[in-house]
Structure 1
Amino acid sequence: MSTSLQPPPEPSGPGTAEPHVLDNATWAALTGPHRHLAEIVGAAARYQQDVSPFVALADAEDPRSWADLAALVGPGNSFALAGVPTLPEGWATGQTGQGVQLVATKLRDEPDPEAEPLGPADVPEMLDLVARAQPGPFLPRTIELGAYYGIRRAGKLVAMAGERLRPPGWTEISAVCTDAEHRGRGLATRLVRHAAAEIRERGDTPFLHAAASNTGAIRLYESMGFTLRRGTLFHFLRVPGGIARGADAG
């Protein structure tokens, strides 16, 4: 499939269809099922800093949302923001990546007998695997976002997958990664199917994100039964003005 995707179209004004919850999935999660992990100032929200670097705005076209975000995060501090096609003046991006959002439409989900639930005691191993496989942001308390599962070989964690965003009715599968020495054996596919089975069990629909440039992963997800829903942008930014206070969020 082609990955030369454009950012999602901006709303065209009054009378447009009601936005889909996945159009602003981070906001829906932070003000919904993940409210206990959120810090909110007005129309801006973020995850607690050792949980996730992601923030969200109620309305990215409203300058007040950006003012609330600056107050929430603090001058000079960094964060990640998804799904906003344009930034206001003065908010220079440090890095922007084009991604895709896919939803499970024909996914065959099934429990896997080798999929081991991962807990707080496994976090050091999870962080080590993430550092080697680099599936995306994963912090010491990211595991609190949802359930995580792993597969071990000779006692070593070699593959994992879990849950990230949880907008109402949906759960994102994330942190899908496999140690380089164990790739090509279908471990990630098995864990995605297992995670999806658990998500379906509680009545949610699985979805996920992938880098638009990662055509191999996109083809794999499509072959599993995920369908491309939209393109999206991921920004890694700092709040303008001032010097960072404390540790960066990302």
Structure 2
Amino acid sequence: MVDQDVPALDDPVGQSLAGHHAHLARRLGRAAAYLPGVATFSTVSAGPDAAEWADLARLLGPGELADMFSCPATAPPDWEPVFRLEGRQMIRPGTARPDHSHRETGTEVVRLGADSVAEMLDLVARTRPGPFWPRTHELGTYLGIRDNGVLVAMAGERLRPPGWTEISAVCTAPEARGRGHAARLVGALAARILARGERPFLHVAEANGDAIALYERLGFTTRRQVTFRGFRTP
């Protein structure tokens, strides 16, 4: 049974900025956004009025990207649309830990931190798993796999609404695909999340059928369809 009535997952950005990630937030009135360099995500209330949109515009600055993630609120007409992407939100039902025992000889899952940012940004530039910035690793734990010292795969924790942790930035270098690295990293992160009494969830573009199939094999199910949208502030 897929959990439908989970309000925290209906507004994961707002819930994260109001709670676990409050120290990474900037605010003006009821509008909020992550600090520059951490994430581009912004949020407004469920029924924002013109004043709240004006607060968000002032918070971000003129001509800046307002990445509204899955917020369904309609932006003012003078906010220029930048992107629109159909996707889905997936969750892992239950509390059983995933089986990620399939291990490749000669590789090791390592924790990535500030000293690995240059490598992480390079891998993201090559694989384009989604937005990732110099301070994104501060959102949570990031894990990677190295091959002869070179970072070839990674995944990490992003949004943190109450009781949940999002798995994100799942990517593998082209030359290292087909070895189970993504499954191993997602499994390791899911086990960490479950061990601290939370549950894992993630977001994926609807067009990325391979990723959806992988997550379904790992026990994730679709909770709802979402539309990711971004705008340029006036």
When the two structures are superposed, what TM-score results if normalisation uses the length of structure 1?
0.84
Tell me, in whole angstroms, the C-alpha distance in 1 between the residues paired with 2:98 and 2:162.
Answer: 20
Q: Does residue 94 of structure 2 align to residue 100 of structure 1?
A: no
Q: Does residue 81 of structure 2 align to residue 87 of structure 1?
A: no
Shift of 1:62: 3.2
Give the corresponding residue for 1:59.
Answer: 46
Tell me, in whole angstroms, the C-alpha distance in 2 between the residues paired with 1:18 and 1:157.
Answer: 39
**Matched ranges for 1:16-31 at <5 A:** 20-31=7-18
Task: Look up the SS of the partner of 1:82 in the other structure.
Answer: coil
Task: Look up the SS of the partner of 2:11 in the other structure.
Answer: helix
Task: Look up the SS of the partner of 1:162 in the other structure.
Answer: strand
The answer (yes or no) to whether the contact 1:43–1:64 under 8 Å persists in 2 is no
Shift of 1:185: 1.1
Give the corresponding residue for 1:109.
Answer: 98
Extract structure 1 runs of 4+ deviating beyond 6 A.
none
Give the corresponding residue for 1:135.
Answer: 129
Shift of 1:61: 4.2
Give the residue type in structure 2 aligned to 1:105. P
Tell me, in whole angstroms, the C-alpha distance in 2 between the residues paired with 1:95 and 1:192.
Answer: 27
**Matched ranges for 1:71-82 at <5 A:** 71-82=58-69
Shift of 1:88: 3.0
The answer (yes or no) to whether the contact 2:24–2:34 under 8 Å persists in 1 is yes
Q: How many positions carry a matched residue from both structures?
A: 224
Where in structure 2 are there 5+ consecutive unaligned residues?
none
Task: Look up the SS of the partner of 2:214 in the other structure.
Answer: helix
Moved more, 107-116 or 62-71: 107-116
Give the residue type in structure 2 aligned to 1:88. P
Q: Does residue 162 of structure 2 align to residue 173 of structure 1?
A: no
Q: Does residue 29 of structure 2 align to residue 42 of structure 1?
A: yes
Provide the identity percentage: 50
Pick the aligned partner of 1:32 from 5, 10, 19: 19
Tell me, in whole angstroms, the C-alpha distance in 1 between the residues paired with 2:175 and 2:57.
Answer: 43
Tell me, in whole angstroms, the C-alpha distance in 1 between the residues paired with 2:36 and 2:150.
Answer: 28
Give the corresponding residue for 1:126.
Answer: 120
Tell me, in whole angstroms, the C-alpha distance in 2 between the residues paired with 1:54 and 1:76.
Answer: 15
Shift of 1:87: 2.9
Tell me, in whole angstroms, the C-alpha distance in 2 between the residues paired with 1:64 and 1:22.
Answer: 26
Tell me, in whole angstroms, the C-alpha distance in 1 between the residues paired with 2:143 and 2:61.
Answer: 35
Task: Look up the SS of the partner of 1:174 in the other structure.
Answer: strand
Q: Does residue 190 of structure 2 align to residue 196 of structure 1?
A: yes
The answer (yes or no) to whether the contact 1:108–1:224 under 8 Å persists in 2 is no
**What root-mean-square deviation, in Å, do the aligned CA atoms of Structure 1 and Structure 2 show?**
1.9
Tell me, in whole angstroms, the C-alpha distance in 1 between the residues paired with 2:190 and 2:70.
Answer: 23
1:25-78 Cα shifts (integer Å, max 9, x gaps)? 000000100000000111111110110111111224433331221121112111
Shift of 1:19: 6.7
Moved more, 231-240 or 20-29: 231-240
Pick the aligned partner of 1:155 from 142, 149, 154: 149
When the two structures are superposed, what TM-score results if normalisation uses the length of structure 2?
0.90
